[in-house]
Structure 1
Amino acid sequence: MNSEFVIAVHSLVFLAHRPDGMASSEEIATNVCTNPVRIRKVMSCLRKNGFVDTREGSGGGYRLSRDPELVTLADIYRALAAGSLAPSWCSGDPESDCMVGSNMADVMNDVFCGADQHLQTYFESITIGQMLSRLAVNDKA
């Protein structure tokens, strides 16, 4: 899982929480505890995928462009992090005479693809709105 996914979810929940639904990259960065440049990079991807709109100038920033009850974590995962469970390196050598060494990369790839599908299925059941509701429940505890 990459940090862009976590930043994206946090940012979208933060925007859904705002009364006016608007926040600058600096405001989001302060809430996420990261650099505004990282926020702008992630928000650019979210904008390109239709999750947020931008407004230039004074009072501008990012605004959630979809109903938070309809945006699932799977939507965000597919836009920013799909396939990120698989490692960038896999053991073995496809040219090896050993059954284990020559096939491990393919078998591990199948395992990670299956895990990715299960994760996306789980993420389909969680919306940005539900994340905001979970935070409200935790805040009262």
Structure 2
Amino acid sequence: MNSEFIIAVHSLVLLAHRPDGMASSEEIATNVCTNPVRVRKVMSCLRRNGIVDTREGSGGGYRLSREPDGMTLAEVYRALAAGSLAPNWCSGDPESDCLVGSNMSDVMNDVFCGADRQLEAYLDSITIGQMLERLTAKARA
């Protein structure tokens, strides 16, 4: 999992929470505790994937492209972090004569691909609206 996914979810829940549904990259960055440039990079990817819309000029910023209850964390994951569970390196040598050494990379790849599918299925069961509800419930407790 990468930090861009966390920034994206935080930003989307913030937009869902705001009465006007709109926030600038600076406002989002302050809330997320990161740099506005990083926020703009993440939000640009979300815009390309139809998750947020933008409005230019004074009073502009980002807003959700649809209702929070119809937007899943899996969509965000696919846009920003799909496949991020797989390591960049795997042990073994495919040219090796050893059963373990020559096949470990493929077997580990299968394991991580399966884990990625399971994670995506789980994230598909959680919406941005539900994340906001969880935060609201936590604040009441």
2:129 pairs with 1:103: no
Name 1:84's counterpart in structure 2.
84
> Matched residues in 1 for 2:66 and 2:2: separation?
23
The two structures, once aligned, show a CA RMSD in angstroms of 0.5
Q: Equivalent residue of 2:70, what SS?
A: coil
**Shift, 1:57, TM fit:** 1.0
Name 2:124's counterpart in structure 1.
124
Q: Equivalent residue of 1:69, what SS?
A: helix
Structure 1-normalised TM-score?
A: 0.99
Between the two proteins, what is the percent identity of the paired residues?
82
Structure 2-normalised TM-score?
A: 0.99
Name 1:19's counterpart in structure 2.
19
Q: Deviations over 1:60-89 (max 9, x none)?
A: 100111110010011111111110000011
**Shift, 1:140, TM fit:** 1.0
Name 1:42's counterpart in structure 2.
42
> Matched residues in 2 for 1:59 and 1:90: separation?
48
Name 2:113's counterpart in structure 1.
113
**Shift, 1:127, TM fit:** 0.1
> Matched residues in 2 for 1:124 and 1:44: separation?
22
Q: Deviations over 1:92-123 (max 9, x none)?
A: 00011111110000000000000000001101
> Matched residues in 2 for 1:61 and 1:78: separation?
23
> Matched residues in 2 for 1:4 and 1:134: separation?
21
> Matched residues in 2 for 1:2 and 1:66: separation?
24
Name 2:73's counterpart in structure 1.
73
> Matched residues in 2 for 1:6 and 1:61: separation?
19
Structure 2 portions without partners, runs of 5+: none
Name 2:51's counterpart in structure 1.
51
Name 1:138's counterpart in structure 2.
138
